[in-house]
Amino acid sequence: MTAATDRDLDLVLFGATGFTGSLTAAYLAEAVSRKGGPAGLRWGLAGRDLTKLGDVRDRLAARFGLDPAAIELLRADVTDQASIDAVAARTRVVITTVGPYLEYGEPVVRACAEAGTDYVDLTGEPEFVDEMYVRYHPVAQRSGARIVHACGFDSIPHDLGALFTAHQLGAAGPVRMRGVVRASGLASGGTFHSALGQFSRSSQMRAASAARRQVEPRPQGRRVRSVGGRPTRDPELGYWLLPLPTIDPVIVARSARELPVYGSDFTYSHYAGTKTLRYAVGGALTAVGLVAAAQLGPVRRWLGAKVPQGQGPDEARRAKSWFRVDFIAEGDGRKVHARVSGGDPGYTETAKMLAESGLCLALDDNPPTSGSVTTAVAMGAALTERLQRAGIRFEVLS
């Protein structure tokens, strides 16, 4: 395993002209300008249009009192693999917000895996994650690159929250854990388009998952499962629970396969929580309707036009939004109730999580690993501490 220590840049953000990308760029610029921040960070912005990138850089420099020359601009276009390769060769970490990732993501993963460059993204697309594992996990292992998907609301609160809860429980034997998500605010346009795309590709998703299972090692002497569960009422939390078929439980299970702190026989279930049965039924019907609509091309395109990519709510709307993920874990005769919570999940906190993931890989002392890995495996405690300092709460309630 090699380390990309000889690069002239620490971190490059790809996609800063988009809505979530611009929030991520602003977070990085604010961090650099802050007393006690990553002074001397060598970073840049990458994209197709250097004029637009220059406008972003100038706004950031004026807002945060930075020297514009300290933020390098790099041309990168996913239709030009050589341009992506050149960016990956110059930096230690690439952050990309350019999605849907199934359509635009592979050139960046390929470049980073081959160059030994760490990679983080915002994807919640299981098919993309599985295909990238099959094609580039061995390549990244040889080069030393850490390919870390799902570094936003999908799936950091769930992945690091489950790890935090497992540490608090400290069970060696079988462990049963459930995560229950409640949130306000809007999903980003990119997330919505990715979801519509995935809903229309169920057979391809199954094929990609099966291909990954053929080559992915299983834990020796331990068992790990994510189970769908069923709609029910949680007697401890007081919520109606609706099984949530997102990428989050898959990510949690992959972390649990790599880390023994989850116990000898780990079972995880993932739910959305609602206060009333009416909201639970409405949520289930909405989900079924979206899945059905996604099967029809004209309807899928009409829905996509209603939630355009690259746009999002204003700061006042985001300031009112919040998320909370409760974890209930039982094992070795003990029970722990932990919680991860924060502000606007779809944009503000997602940009924070993504930026802190990139900074963590570039600057912190992380566990020795390489290949396609989760946030819990790649960064674990270091990223949790970063997020706590940034205002995301990890707490034990009982």
pLDDT at 280 over 70: no
- The answer to the question of residue 264 being in a domain is yes
- Across the range 198-207, mean pLDDT stands at 81
Confidence (pTM): 0.91
> Is a pLDDT exceeding 50 seen at residue 152?
yes
Asked if 345 contacts 358 with a C-beta cutoff of 8 angstroms, the reply is: no
Note whether residue 397 is domain-resident.
Answer: no
pLDDT tens, residue by residue, 203-226: 899 999 999 999 999 999 999 999
Indicate whether 327 and 256 sit together in one domain. Answer: yes
Helix (H, G, I), strand (E, B) or coil at 67: coil
Distances (CA, A) of 314 to 122, 189, 348: 20, 14, 10
Residues 244 and 111 both lie in one domain: no
Q: Could you report the per-residue pLDDT of 53-97, keeping only the tens digit for each?
A: 999 999 999 999 999 999 999 999 999 999 999 999 999 999 999
- 380 Cβ contact list (under 8 Å, min separation 6): 160, 163, 366, 367
For 158-171, write each residue's pLDDT tens digit. Answer: 999 999 999 999 99
pLDDT in the model for residue 1:
39
Number of domains comprising the chain = 2
- pLDDT confidence bin for 201, thresholds 50/70/90: confident
- The dihedral built from the CA positions of residue 56, 24, 27 and 110, taken in this order, carries a sign that is negative
Q: 43 and 180, same structural domain?
A: no
Q: Which domain holds residue 179?
A: 156-342
Residues 95 and 212 in one domain: no
Cis previous bond, 308, omega within 30: no
274 shares its domain with 215: yes
Let me know how many helices (H) and strands (E) the chain has, helices first.
16, 15
- Using one digit for the tens of pLDDT, what is the confidence trace for 283-298? 554 555 555 555 656 6
Q: Is 4 within the bounds of a domain?
A: no
Task: Report the pLDDT value the prediction gives residue 303, as an integer from 0 to 100.
Answer: 59
Residue 123 C-alpha from the chain's centroid: 6
User: Do residues 53 and 45 touch, judged by C-beta distance below 8 A?
Assistant: yes
